[in-house]
Amino acid sequence: MSDWSSGREEDVDFRRIQRTRGDEIFEPGLDVEPPDTREFRPPIRLAGWALVALCAVLTPSVFGPLGLSAATRTLALATALLGLQVLLGHAGLLSLGHGALIGIGAWLTGVVVTEMGVAVELAIPLAALVGAGVGVLIGLPALRVQGIGLALLTLALAVSFPVLHRKFVGPLGKVYDKLVPPVWTGLQPGDDELWSYVLAVIATTVVYLALRELLGGRFGRSLRAVRDDPVAAAAFGVPVARIQLGAFALSSAAAGVAGAILVARTPFVSGADYPFQFSIQLFAVALLVGADRLLGALGGAIVMTQLPRALSGLGWVGLEDLIYAVVLLVIIRGFRGRGVGPWLRDQLVTTRLGQPRKRPT
């Protein structure tokens, strides 16, 4: 048995204890060869990054204040979806309470900016730290609860946040100081929408790059090993409890950042803005798009932002919850919980590269 604390990564063969869902693991003893995707994926990634960068640069010049406000909310929701996918996709843990974590981040940012005079640029990482702490507190009892029990535990958080906020803050919520761009940015005092959008772009990019680095390295391999077989992972020296707590901390930190972005966009927090239905919507969209990638998270956030407007234009106001319920049923029944986004990526790679080749005997 290898010693995890020794730091020798080569001692732990994660591929032999990782049974990925929907993907084959190719090992020397098998009769198939893995398809070579190295020539296929980089162009797709570069095109995706180029598209995202182009949209980010052109948005302020193309859209007015209302468009910038919608773009900022979209980026905030994308940040939350990236964090939620750490639990759903990589850790295999259910969470129905991310709406409350976003609300906690928004409330904290409003308090420290308005009542303590902290700059919003510093309040965003502070919201991430506090969100990570809340995630650890949630994760401690969750270590003994799995499956539906964990889902009910996080749902209790989503249900209790609006009630606690109304009781201790006020039934109508609270208005905080309006965001003013710092002098060093060169922006005018009336450019608060543009400054909140710039902060959202920076925060979302930092969260995505940080999660990509962590999940693509040793921590991510350990997390997926624990997801697939915690007993085998523990036998190989992986600290299961610490890895799961780390997943809760990362996911909650991203939710805290999302809340900070939202309150920078609109300096008002009310418990009614973060009901438990909001958490279920996040859960459904994360499953739908497979928000482990930036484009998937942005696509899911656009759905959450534009769906109410589309339904309002059709005269179907108030049907969002029904649509999200149908989405959950379709994903669970038709895609076995993997989501449409991962399924489309698999189909695209299979179409381009063909089926795995048989090894010659």
Q: What confidence tens digit (pLDDT) does each residue in 159-212 have?
A: 999 999 988 888 778 888 778 788 888 888 778 888 899 999 999 999 999 998
pLDDT band (50, 70, 90) for residue 343:
low
246 has a pLDDT exceeding 60: yes
CA-based nearest residue to 254, from 306, 212, 309:
212
Q: Is the pLDDT higher at 236 or at 46?
A: 236
Q: What is the C-alpha separation between 201 and 9, in angstroms, rounded? A: 35
Tell me how far the alpha carbon of residue 178 is from its chain's centroid.
27
pLDDT, position 310: 75
| Alpha carbon distances (Å) from 336 to 22, 96, 150, 346 | 10, 19, 20, 14
Residue identified by tokens 């790059």 is: 209
**Phi, psi (degrees; rounded to nearest 5) at 328:** -60, -45
pLDDT, position 197: 92
Mean pLDDT rounded to a whole number for the chain:
78
pTM of the entire predicted model: 0.78
Lowest pLDDT segment from 113-127, 197-211, 291-305: 291-305
Task: Tell me which amino acid residue 205 is.
Answer: T
pLDDT band (50, 70, 90) for residue 89:
confident
pLDDT, position 342: 58
Residue 268: beta bridge partners? 175
For 255-284, the pLDDT digits (tens) are 999 999 999 888 888 888 899 889 988 988
Task: Tell me which amino acid residue 156 is.
Answer: A
| Alpha carbon distances (Å) from 79 to 140, 243, 297 | 24, 21, 7
